[in-house]
Amino acid sequence: MDIEFNKNEDVNKQMVFEMKTKWKKIAEGGGAKNAAKQKEIGKMLARERIAYLIDKDCPFLELGAFAADGMYEAEGGCPSAGVIAGIGYVSGRQCMIVANDATVKAGAWFPMTAKKNLRAQEICMENKLPIIYLVDSAGVYLPMQDEIFPDKEHFGRIFRNNAIMSSMGILQISAIMGSCVAGGAYLPIMSDEAMIVEGTGSVFLAGSYLVKSAIGEDIDNETLGGATTHCEISGVTDYKQPNDAACLDSIKNILSKVGDYDKAGFDRVKSVEPIKDQKEIYGILPDNREKQYEMREIIDRLVDNSDFEEYKEKYGQSILCGLARVDGWAVGIVANQRKVVKSKKGEMQFGGVIYSDSADKAARFIMNCNQKKIPLVFLQDVTGFMVGSRSEQGGIIKDGAKMVNAMANSVVPKFTIVIGNSYGAGNYAMCGKAYDPRLIYAWPTAKIAVMGGSAAAKTLFQIQEATMRAKGEEITPERKAEILKEITDRYDRQTTPYYAASRLWVDGIIDPLETRKVISMGIEAANHAPIEKRYNVGVIQT
């Protein structure tokens, strides 16, 4: 091992440590005091409910753990957007699980809470994955109701999705384990089956205080919408359970009797670990995003047996394409090459930039994978498409459009891992969030923005400088450096993976060693949904 490797390893391990430390703090939810209040009334915490529900010794893939991070600070914060979501196994069945965290503002719905729930439902609809809702929420956070209530992608879309998922035959099971108020009451009742915990669970369109205010009736919440009312009188819920554990056991029992699903038929063989040590990724990945490295070395540590069958190896070398297996699943990999290579013509090709020949190669490879019904994995470390007169005259826009077209129309599932840079149109071509990857996760080293920080800061400064000069303001070298630093710092904060994850531009931030798990569980989920659409890329210029 050389000094550079050791330096990279130290930096990257530290970034992973910081990420895990941050997650542990977020996982505390609303804190020990609020957790104690939940325990006092006999309730499990949201993460305890999930841990009890899922099969032991099976992986759980959390979705949106960093959602709302750094947002709503004036409201006291909203860790994980007040809801825990992820893909796990219940009685051997892979399911999406969504659990309100009542320690965070009594489980109230913030704008990002709705966005996270909609993302969970989107994953279920794309993959025809069963979903379990563990409901414990005080309803919409009223001070922000204008940002959560009326628009197309707001709160009401969740209930619309309940109906659509039901029509698609996607199993939905709800457990009312705490409050379930107002419009939120529709979510469990629009599920296929709903159960309620006696003494702590309640569901109604209006609570006792609002009933008193609206019609003058004096009634307590338990009588109004508790377990006995809805299981013995209204018939709204299907099962009454004495406590959280019994309720979760009932869900396990139901899932254990569900029939098998139709499969998409993606190829899988026995999983084999990579020959090359995965932990060496920490030493290979540079300590900053400007340095070069060999992407093949990363791929060799992610794929089974370190076996990567490369497509058009010597053509379009700034993108690597090839076939491999991840945890036994056959995959087609499209990855940005970050090593400076020399083409046959003697030109230097700088890593992370997409050239015309690379875009052409990637488009053809993507089409081939669709023909073979092989899921696609995109490993992003891209600074964009090549610019300049030579590239423009060579048709870079046409070739880039060809790649985007082939990728956007893909009918096999796509999975994106943001390893490093994810800039501009490169983000789009390499299957960014706008292009419907089934899952998109980032490493702690990721940077997501329209362009790199240095270039963006200089561009933004030039605009600000012109405005100041127009007003007759003098710009000293010291003032210039100060302004440039302010712009750079602000821009850099907006390019971090945490900024992206808090807004659900990515589904989460992971240790590189979790990458195989993300891809494998993602393909297993996608295998629930047979491909019904024919691959057709429309008009592609050649």
DSSP secondary structure, 290-340, as one string: TS---HHHHHHTTSGGG--EEESTTSSTTEEEEEEEETTEEEEEEEE--S-
DSSP code, position 109: B
User: Phi/psi zone of residue 270: left (φ > 0), alpha (ψ -120 to 50 degrees), beta?
Assistant: beta
Q: What is the pLDDT of residues 349-390, one digit of tens each?
A: 566 899 999 999 999 999 999 999 999 999 999 998 877 777
Backbone angles phi, psi at 310, to 5 degrees: -80, 140
| pLDDT for residue 326 | 98
Q: How far apart are CA 213 and CA 455, in angstroms?
A: 58
Dihedral of CA atoms 225, 231, 237, 243 in degrees, nearest 10, equals 80
Q: Is the dihedral of CA 206, 99, 153, 67 positive or negative?
A: positive
Q: What is the pLDDT of residues 176-214, one digit of tens each?
A: 999 888 767 788 889 999 999 999 999 988 777 778 888
| pLDDT for residue 465 | 76
How would you classify the pairing of strands 83-90 and 93-100?
antiparallel
User: How long, in residues, is the chain?
Assistant: 542
Instruction: Record the tokens describing residue 157, joined without a space.
Output: 């879309």
**Taking a C-beta distance cutoff of 8 angstroms, is the pair 402, 427 a contact?**
no
Instruction: Record the tokens describing residue 495, joined without a space.
Output: 């390019």
| pLDDT for residue 28 | 97
Q: How far is CA 29 from CA 132, 444, 492, in A?
A: 20, 22, 27
Q: How far is CA 244 from CA 7, 52, 108, 138, 251, in A?
A: 49, 10, 20, 18, 11
Any residues with CB less than 8 A from the CB of 445 and at least 6 apart, and which? 12, 15, 285, 289, 419, 420, 497
Q: How far is CA 478 from CA 422, 459, 471, 482, in A?
A: 32, 18, 19, 6
Q: How far apart are CA 340 and CA 336, in angstroms?
A: 12
Give 303-306 contacts, CB < 8 A, sequence gap 24+.
303/274, 303/331, 303/333, 304/271, 304/272, 304/273, 304/274, 304/328, 305/272, 305/273, 305/274, 305/275, 306/274, 306/275, 306/276
Instruction: Record the tokens describing residue 8, joined without a space.
Output: 């990279």
| pLDDT for residue 345 | 59
376 beta partners: 332, 414
Amino acid identity, residue 465? E
Residues of the chain with pLDDT below 70 are 1, 183, 341-351, 393, 453-454, 538-542
Any residues with CB less than 8 A from the CB of 117 and at least 6 apart, and which? 83, 85, 98, 158
Q: How far apart are CA 324 and CA 333, in angstroms?
A: 7
Q: Is-above-0.75 flag for pTM?
A: yes
* Range list of H helices, 471-531: 477-494, 497-502, 515-526
Instruction: Record the tokens describing residue 468, joined without a space.
Output: 């100041």
Where does residue 146 rank: exposed (0-12), middle (13-18), buried (19+ CB within 10 A)?
A: exposed
Which of 146, 173, 183, 158 is closest to 91 using CA atoms? Answer: 173
Q: How far apart are CA 323 and CA 332, in angstroms?
A: 5
Query: What's the longest Cα–Cα distance across the chain?
Result: 85
